[in-house]
């Protein structure tokens, strides 16, 4: 699905170029079916084959949208359906759709980057207290032992564990984005 979504704007651009050259949308779809790579090719071949048996172009794109069930294919189906009913400049509308899909892909990639940075930050925040403890323990082992031997030391450890857990939990909660 990701590969299809990433390559769909290129297929739309091919349809736009064909329409600007004077081809019908059906002919443009045939060109995309012949010249594209998988998974775009198989979906557009299915549209071409459906048209050969008498299914309208709008219904073919609706079928693709139902099979793939993505926002992008639903929008493409809607645009083709409206264009078939009302006419108009399909290249402008499809150009806007292709730009919109590309912007959406860029936003998804940016969100992935940000969540990865957040996960790395959570990992670093989780490791730092242990690093500090081992460094201090190597220099002052008798003083660090007080954290485990005294009541006040145990309270301090519980306080540290509680607030570190809250901090790590907050970081994980904020980076939990569904992409």
pLDDT one-digit tens code per residue, 147-169 = 888 999 899 999 988 998 888 88
Contact between 40 and 4 under an 8 Å Cβ cutoff? The reply is yes
**pLDDT class of 135 with cuts at 50, 70, 90:** very high
If you ran DSSP here, which 8-state letter would residue 1 be given?
-
Long-range pairs for 12-18: beta carbons < 8 A, 24 or more residues apart: 12/76, 12/94, 12/95, 12/97, 12/98, 12/101, 13/98, 15/90, 15/94, 16/90, 16/91, 16/94, 16/95, 16/98
pLDDT one-digit tens code per residue, 25-65 = 888 888 888 888 888 888 888 888 888 888 888 888 888 88
């Amino acid at each position: 699905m990701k590969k299809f979504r990433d390559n769909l704007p290129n297929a739309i651009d091919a349809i736009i170029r064909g329409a600007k050259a004077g081809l019908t949308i059906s002919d443009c779809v045939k060109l995309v079916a012949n010249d594209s790579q998988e998974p775009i090719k198989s979906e557009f071949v299915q549209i071409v084959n459906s048209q050969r048996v008498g299914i309208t172009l709008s219904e073919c794109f609706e079928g693709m949208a139902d099979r793939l069930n993505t926002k992008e294919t639903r929008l493409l189906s809607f645009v083709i359906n409206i264009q078939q009913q009302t006419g108009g400049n399909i290249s402008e509308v499809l150009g806007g759709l292709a730009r919109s899909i590309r912007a959406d892909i860029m936003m998804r990639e940016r969100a992935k980057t940000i969540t990865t940075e957040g996960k790395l930050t959570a990992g670093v925040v989780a490791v730092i207290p242990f690093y500090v403890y081992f460094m201090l323990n190597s220099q002052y082992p008798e003083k660090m032992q007080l954290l485990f031997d005294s009541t006040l030391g145990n309270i301090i450890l519980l306080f540290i564990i509680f607030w570190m857990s809250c901090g790590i939990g907050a970081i994980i909660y904020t980076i939990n984005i569904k992409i």
